[in-house]
Structure 1
Amino acid sequence: MCKKFLTFLALIVSTYATIPDYVPTELHDWMISMRNKCIQEAQITEADVDTYVISNNAQPMMCYMKCLMREARWMTPDHQVNYEVIGTMEFGDMKDIVMAALEKCKTFTDGKEPCETAYNFNVCLQQADPVHYFLP
């Protein structure tokens, strides 16, 4: 019983540790929920996400990004970036950071398929603000 609890506690601590300090705490549970769902859907591991570098365009990671964008409603059902929804979301103290990067990515290159489109958008966001970019 104690071993299971410690494993669970380690999972929670490691998950919260992946969220940068500048992300408002009210967004943490939402991000963790998306992360858990999309890790399963993309059939990757937490280590894959935690050690990810943006130059890696492996299909599972690109599809993880698509899942995150879809779950956050940042991507429409027809796989377009949903700038309207992103612009109206509550980001707390991150609002200016997100909007500045978003403004630079309104003309990124669509991919040949939805996962690649999500990846290309994330590459743009990372290039627009490498200091604040992260994958939950």
Structure 2
Amino acid sequence: MLIRLGAACGCVLLVLPLVLSISEELQELVDMLHNTCVGETGTSEEAIENAKKGDFADDEKFKCYLMCIMVQMACIDEDGIVDVEATIAVIPEEFQDLAAPIIRKCDTQKGSTPCESAWLTHKCYYNENPDGETMKICVLFVLCVGFPASMCSLEEWRAMGAPIHKTCVAESGVDEVLIEKANSEKVLEDDEKLKCYILCLMKQSGWMVDDKTIDVETVVMVLPDEMKEKATPVVRACGTKVGANPCETAWLTHKCYAENGPNAYVLI
């Protein structure tokens, strides 16, 4: 069965406070895709984790896992030829400007077998890095698809959040110093641009309903695993801190997160 996750589910597969939020229904599809491809190929979870760090094992099972993921997403045919435009289409909209040139440039990296072609193409996605580490989110995206959102690490969570950070800085005009202060000192200044930056993050991530209410369980769902135990009770206790406007509501809620769970608070 083909799972055209991007087209069927609004081009949102992950994580990303990172960033991206996904519904419970979509998470079930994601888990099924991962389990199907691990079951079919027998690859190890270790090989998948290592690939997120750039270590693509020269292992037939892992190569065929990548092939399986792309087949299930209708991004490659049985001969190992990548459908470039279909691959771009399943990338969340926030990442497409960053990912599309890489995907088009890599096209299909042909190997001796269809599985090797999928593997070589993914290596190309990872290694084509003209704009720094954040370009590697193309591969993190595909490899994190196979896991619950929380199983992507904080580092990966940050990397995938980079495009949203850039968008929201531009939209709000916030001073990066205020974001750095929020992370280093857990102090969120009473600054309108910072408030609206936080609102932008939460809207881009799908964590606010109608600019008024925090979707608490969606926030909890996308927390990185190492933060989940400490952060979940804080997120639930804070709920929505209502302010005079949507920007202030987002800011007050984040202030609650930072004040009540400083060791688990990160502002991307």
Taking structure 2 as the reference length, the TM-score comes to 0.39
Q: Which moved more, 1:124-133 or 1:59-68?
A: 124-133
Distance across 1 between alignment mates of 2:159 and 2:241: 31
- Quote the sequence identity (%): 22
1:39 shift after superposition: 0.6
1:97 shift after superposition: 2.4
Matched, 1:33 2:163: yes
- Picking from 116, 119, 122, the partner of 2:254 is 122
Matched, 1:111 2:217: no
1:29 shift after superposition: 2.0
Partner of 1:68: 201
Distance across 2 between alignment mates of 1:58 and 1:47: 12
Partner of 2:120: none
**What SS does the aligned partner of 2:209 have?**
coil
Partner of 2:234: 101
1:59 shift after superposition: 0.5
1:126 shift after superposition: 0.9
Amino acid at match of 2:232: M
Contact 1:104 1:128 in 2 (8 A): no
Residues 1:81 and 1:46: Cα distance change in structure 2 (over 3 Å) = same
Which structure has the larger Rg over C-alpha atoms? 2
**What SS does the aligned partner of 1:117 have?**
helix
**What SS does the aligned partner of 2:156 have?**
helix
Residues 1:66 and 1:91: Cα distance change in structure 2 (over 3 Å) = same
Contact 2:212 2:242 in 1 (8 A): no
Contact 2:178 2:189 in 1 (8 A): no
Distance across 2 between alignment mates of 1:32 and 1:111: 27
Deviations 1:67-115 (A, max 9, x none): 1111111112343101132233352222212212112212x53001000
**What SS does the aligned partner of 2:199 have?**
helix
Distance across 2 between alignment mates of 1:117 and 1:45: 20
Amino acid at match of 2:177: A
Unaligned runs of 5+ in 2: 1-130, 135-152
Amino acid at match of 1:110: V
Taking structure 1 as the reference length, the TM-score comes to 0.72
Partner of 1:15: none
User: Once superposed, which parts of structure 1, at least 4 consecutive aligned residues long, lie more than 3 Å away?
Assistant: none
